[in-house]
Each structure stands twice: as structure tokens, then as C-alpha cells.
């Protein structure tokens, strides 16, 4: 073992209190410490932040972290401040700061106190900031949620596309670290191309297999509500999330469940903040078993023992489906992912897109076609998902290879289409 490795483990323990790296973290960190351009794909919860935080803490200079969400930046900065007596160890630079605060941030950077500087892409484009950062020692630039660069990602942000030029102006030789949980080859290619990451960049991709999740698709008939009630009752006492497309459906289904003796609460962005927090807490504290929600629910929610995720309506991409089903079985225990599918719902989703720019519609359509293929396939669902993410999977030898409806009960394709009313 080289002294470097010992150091990394010691730093991991010292700063984060962990005694082991998770997955590919150590290799990623070595690549960053060596000053290489580094591209990291790991599923949500894989521990991507630590991949750039640790090298930032042990290297000279300030690492710039580009992140799309102020809330996410704040969380990370607070956590980092908790590990140091020095408040200036991490800062956020954004438009909400006063002149005085900005001055303080810049002083801390100049004095070598600040190891991580979190910025939104908009702030990084500001000329005065670029000028200032040019004159500082920057260890590297980490781009979190790097899929925002790609129109094929689920969260495209135009500001992300100019990052490369700005980074170049801050410093020609600054290593770039791009991290994302989006694994489709298309998005990956886009990111690398846009950032000018060539063959000399190091790429790391963790497996996206979730071996403890069971995937199942059922045809969506007019009896879908009764079917859901039956399922939930069979799983009484277990925590579950039911996703619906519209707020109205969320309300209706939550009520239907309540009337049928299931403890359930609704959650969507139309509820006032107080109610949302209350319902979320009820779910987290297990005062209710089930939350019926739009996709507004889930971001940043970390309940380890969610035992089922039901999609009353099929999501608009395989990625959304993967993210949402991924909230089941975080603790490694059972997680049943059940989605109801009818082609009518696909048509509905197509219709929603019709007002959007043509290019966006085309992408949306292509993503939806993959969902159709997934829902209608008779092959292993796990194999399909992993293939979509550019990963080979062998059901005979791979972990969780027998955990989906198509593998468990191979059936003829047309059966899945029967009785589709809605």
C-alpha cells in the first residue's frame, strides 16, 4: 500500500468519520488528486459528493463546485462547516449575498481558508467573479449534476453549456470533474463532448443494478384503484409511495385509499407548504403507511425502508422510472416496484408535450418510446433497464436476476395488452 492510500483513508476518517470508501470513490479520488479530468457516473446515493469534497479538503487551493440548486449547495456547505472549526472552509457564492458577504468570501479564498466554493452556473458567468477567480489558486472545478449539460438529460439547463469556456478563462489547465447519476450513453457522450473531455480523461461508472428491487408492470384497466388497494392491503404496515401524474389524481386516490381503510396522505406541489411538510413527516415517522404523490415528492427524501413504489401512471422516461423506483429498498431489503401501463397514458404524455419546441418534443417522444418498449417487453425488466444505461446484465449470474415479472412468469406479449380500458 502506498503512503498515498493510507493518507486517503486517514482523511476519510478524519473529515467524514467513515472507515471505508464506497464503491469507486477511492479510484475517483485518486484520479482527481492526480489532476486528471474525471467523469463519474454513480446512482443516486452512491456518494458522489465525497468524491470531490475529500480531494478538495486535502489539496492546496480552492475547488469550485458548480451545482444547480441553492438548497443542495446550502446542505453541503452546512455539513462541511460542521467538520471544521473554520467557517470559511466552504462558501456559497450567489446573487443573494450582500457586498460585504462577497468580500468576506473572496478574502477567505485569497487567504487559502476556503477549500470548497459552491456556485450556481449563473454566478460563475459574472465577469467580476471570473476575474477574481483567475487570480486565485483553484485546485479543480467539480460539476455536480452534470447531466444538466445535455438536452437528453432530464434537467437540461442552458447555463451549463457555457461552463467549459468560463473554466478555461479561470485557468487553462484546471482539471474538471463531472459527476452525475444519469447513465444513458447519449447523455454521457454529450457531457464529455461539451466539456472537451477527451480520451485522456478518466471515466468511472458504477453499476446501476439494484439487486433487491422487484420490477413488475401490470396492464392499466378500469380496476386499477381496486388493484392498488388490494396490493397495499396485502402489504399492510409497510411503507410505500404511489406516484400519480396529476394533483387531482393524487387527491382522489389518497381519498379512495383512506375510505378503504388504508392510512395514506396526499403530497403535491399544490398543497400549502405546511401541509406538505406535515404529510412528509407523517410518512417519515410512520404515522401513515402510504404517501400518494406527484413527482414533487422524493427529491432528497431518504427513507431507507420504503417497501414498495407504485406508478399509477407510467413516467415519461426510463430515467424518471429508475429514479422513482429507486426510492424503494434503500436499506437493501425488499422493494417492490409496480407500474400500471396503458398506451392511452403514453398518448396523454405526448399531448402534454405538444406545446413545446419541436426539438424538445422529439427528445420527449424518443424517451417515451423507450418507456413503451420497456412496458411491453417480454424480456427481463432488469436487463432492459441496465441495457438502457449501457450495462450488460446476465440474468443467470447477475445479482437479482430473477426479480422481475417477466423472468418469474414468462408470458405472451399480447396478454399484457388485454383489458386495457383507460
Candidates 31, 37, 46, 310; binder of ligand ADP (CB under 6 A) is 46
Interaction of residue 50 with ligand ADP, rule CB under 6 A: yes
Binding segment for ligand ADP (CB under 6 A), chosen from 21-29, 119-127, 250-258, 345-353, is 21-29
Q: How far is the CB of 57 from Mg ion (least distance, A)?
A: 17
Residue 303, interface with ligand ADP (CB under 6 A)?
A: no
Q: Which of 197, 188, 201 is nearest to 152 (CA)?
A: 188
For the bound state, the minimum distance from the C-beta of residue 98 to ligand ADP, rounded and expressed in Å, comes to 29
Stretch that binds ligand ADP, among 44-52, 166-174, 382-390, 414-422 (CB under 6 A): 44-52
Q: Taking a C-beta distance cutoff of 8 angstroms, is the pair 115, 56 a contact?
A: yes
CB 37 within 8 A of CB 179: no
**18 binds ligand ADP per the rule CB under 6 A:** yes
- Tell me the window of 12-20, 42-50, 257-265, 402-410 that interacts with Mg ion (CB under 5 A): 42-50
R_g over Cα of the chain:
23
List Cα–Cα distances, 226 to 53, 115, 260, 335, in angstroms: 48, 55, 10, 21
The listed partner (Mg ion, ligand ADP, none) that binds 382, CB under 5 to 8 Å by sort, is: none
DSSP assignment of 127-165 equals HHHHHHHHTS-EEEEEETTGGGG-TTSSS--GGGGGHHH
Least distance in angstroms from the C-beta of 44 to ligand ADP:
4
The residue whose Cβ lies closest to Mg ion is 48
Regarding 21 and contact with ligand ADP (CB under 6 A), the answer is yes
**Residue of 268, 354, 269 whose CA lies nearest to 312:** 268
**What's the min distance (Å) between Cβ of 208 and Mg ion?**
15
- Segment contacting ligand ADP by CB under 6 A, of 40-48, 103-111, 200-208, 258-266: 40-48
Asked whether position 9 contacts ligand ADP by CB under 6 A, the answer is: no
Distances (CA, A) of 363 to 225, 273, 318, 325: 31, 33, 13, 22
**Binding of residue 44 to ligand ADP (CB under 6 A):** yes
Residue with cell 457522450: 189
Regarding 211 and contact with ligand ADP (CB under 6 A), the answer is no
Of 3-11, 43-51, 213-221, 353-361, the window that binds ligand ADP (rule: CB under 6 A) is 43-51
One-character DSSP codes across 302-349: --TTEEEEEESS--SSHHHHHHHHTTS-TTSS-EEEEEEE-HHHHHHH
End-to-end CA distance of the chain: 62
Interface residues with ligand ADP (CB under 6 A)? 18, 20-22, 25, 42, 44-50
Interface residues with Mg ion (CB under 5 A)? 48
Amino acid at each position: 500500500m502506498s503512503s498515498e492510500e493510507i493518507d486517503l483513508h486517514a482523511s476519510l476518517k478524519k473529515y467524514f468519520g467513515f472507515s471505508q470508501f464506497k464503491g469507486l470513490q477511492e479510484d475517483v479520488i485518486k484520479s482527481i488528486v492526480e489532476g486528471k479530468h474525471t467523469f463519474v457516473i454513480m446512482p443516486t446515493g452512491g456518494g458522489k459528493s465525497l468524491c470531490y469534497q475529500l480531494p478538495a479538503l486535502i489539496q492546496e487551493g480552492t475547488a469550485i463546485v458548480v451545482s444547480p440548486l441553492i438548497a443542495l449547495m446550502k446542505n453541503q456547505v452546512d455539513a462541511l462547516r460542521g467538520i471544521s472549526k473554520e467557517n470559511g472552509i466552504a462558501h456559497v457564492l450567489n446573487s443573494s449575498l450582500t457586498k460585504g458577504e462577497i468580500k468576506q468570501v473572496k478574502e477567505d479564498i485569497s487567504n487559502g481558508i476556503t477549500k470548497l466554493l459552491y456556485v450556481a452556473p449563473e454566478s460563475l458567468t459574472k465577469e467580476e467573479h471570473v476575474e477574481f477567480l483567475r487570480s486565485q489558486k483553484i485546485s479543480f472545478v467539480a460539476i455536480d449534476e452534470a447531466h444538466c449539460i445535455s438536452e437528453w438529460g432530464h434537467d437540461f439547463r442552458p447555463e451549463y453549456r457555457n461552463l467549459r469556456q468560463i473554466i478555461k478563462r479561470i485557468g487553462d489547465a484546471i482539471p474538471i470533474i463531472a459527476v452525475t447519476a444519469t447513465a444513458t450513453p447519449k447523455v454521457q457522450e454529450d457531457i464529455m463532448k461539451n466539456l472537451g473531455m477527451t480520451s485522456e480523461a478518466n471515466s468511472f461508472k458504477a453499476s446501476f443494478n439494484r439487486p433487491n428491487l422487484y420490477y413488475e408492470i401490470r396492464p392499466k384497466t378500469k380496476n386499477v384503484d381496486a388493484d392498488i388497494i388490494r396490493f397495499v392491503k396485502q402489504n399492510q404496515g409497510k411503507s410505500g409511495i404511489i406516484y400519480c401524474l396529476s394533483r387531482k389524481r393524487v387527491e382522489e386516490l389518497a381519498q379512495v385509499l383512506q375510505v378503504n381503510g388504508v392510512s395514506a396522505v396526499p403530497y403535491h406541489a399544490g398543497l400549502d407548504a405546511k401541509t406538505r411538510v406535515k404529510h412528509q413527516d407523517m410518512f417519515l415517522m410512520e404515522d401513515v403507511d402510504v404517501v400518494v404523490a406527484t413527482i414533487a415528492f422524493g427529491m432528497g427524501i431518504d427513507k431507507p425502508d420504503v417497501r414498495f413504489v407504485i406508478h399509477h401512471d407510467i413516467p415519461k422516461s426510463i430515467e424518471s422510472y429508475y429514479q422513482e423506483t429507486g426510492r424503494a429498498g434503500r436499506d437493501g431489503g425488499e422493494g417492490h416496484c409496480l407500474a400500471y401501463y396503458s398506451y392511452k397514458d403514453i398518448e396523454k404524455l405526448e399531448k402534454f408535450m405538444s406545446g413545446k419546441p419541436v426539438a424538445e418534443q422529439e427528445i420527449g417522444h424518443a424517451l417515451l418510446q423507450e418507456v413503451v418498449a420497456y412496458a411491453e417487453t417480454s424480456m427481463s425488466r432488469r436487463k432492459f433497464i441496465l441495457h438502457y444505461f449501457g450495462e450488460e446484465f446476465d440474468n443467470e449470474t447477475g445479482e437479482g436476476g430473477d426479480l422481475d415479472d417477466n423472468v418469474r412468469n414468462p408470458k405472451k406479449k399480447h396478454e399484457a395488452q388485454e383489458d386495457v380500458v383507460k
